């Protein structure tokens, strides 16, 4: 922030016992945070991340019905560690959603529980009809419907 520009960092500059892909993701997130928050505030605000967050991209993790497999460094070597996770719900909706295209995995801590958040891209179905109805559920007016005509 003092230099008023983004510095070039690589995985060699970060001394952490995590795989290089995770280090690269952290560098990208820091550059993005610098570009969006610090530059727009004219270099006055230094953002502080309040919650501990760890992010893996879609190529670095896998899962099954009971475990999430994440790469960690153990004894200097990158190995996949299986972590037990509760992925099922009443109608197996979570497992059905996870069959689609997966995005990043974020692990955060919320009220003394570790939560894994997986972004999913769902395919959209194109409609063939020409009539469109929009519904606005407002606070003062219960519902307003707008048609194309």
**Confidence at residue 146, expressed as pLDDT on a 0 to 100 scale:** 63
pLDDT digits (tens, 9 = 90+) for 59-78: 788 888 788 888 888 887 88
pLDDT of 1 above 60 = no
Residue 47: domain span: 20-121
pTM: 0.55
133 closest CA partner among 118, 147, 117: 147
Is residue 149, in this structure, part of any structural domain at all?
A: no
Our count of domains for the chain comes to 1
Identify whether 134 is part of a domain: no
In-domain check, residue 4: no
Instruction: Give the three-state DSSP class for 77.
Output: strand
Tell me if 126 is assigned to some domain.
no
136 inside domain: no
Burial of 46 from C-beta contacts in 10 A (0-12 / 13-18 / 19+): exposed
Q: Looking at the domain assignment, is residue 13 inside a domain?
A: no
User: CA 66 to CA 131: how far, in whole Å?
Assistant: 45
pLDDT tens readout for residues 106-139: 888 888 888 888 888 888 887 776 676 667 776 7
């Amino acid at each position: 922030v003092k230099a008023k520009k983004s510095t070039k960092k690589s995985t060699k500059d970060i001394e952490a016992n995590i795989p290089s892909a995770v280090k690269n993701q952290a560098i990208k997130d820091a550059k993005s945070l610098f570009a969006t928050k610090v530059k727009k505030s004219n270099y006055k605000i230094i953002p502080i991340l309040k919650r501990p967050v760890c992010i893996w991209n879609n190529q670095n993790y896998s899962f099954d019905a009971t475990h999430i497999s994440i790469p960690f460094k153990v004894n200097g070597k990158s190995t996949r560690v299986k972590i037990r996770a509760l992925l099922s719900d009443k109608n197996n909706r979570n497992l059905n959603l996870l069959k689609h295209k997966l995005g990043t995995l974020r692990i955060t801590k919320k009220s003394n529980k570790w939560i894994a958040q997986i972004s999913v891209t769902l395919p959209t179905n194109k409609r063939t009809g020409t009539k469109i109805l929009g519904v606005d559920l407002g606070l003062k007016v219960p519902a307003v419907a707008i048609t194309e005509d």
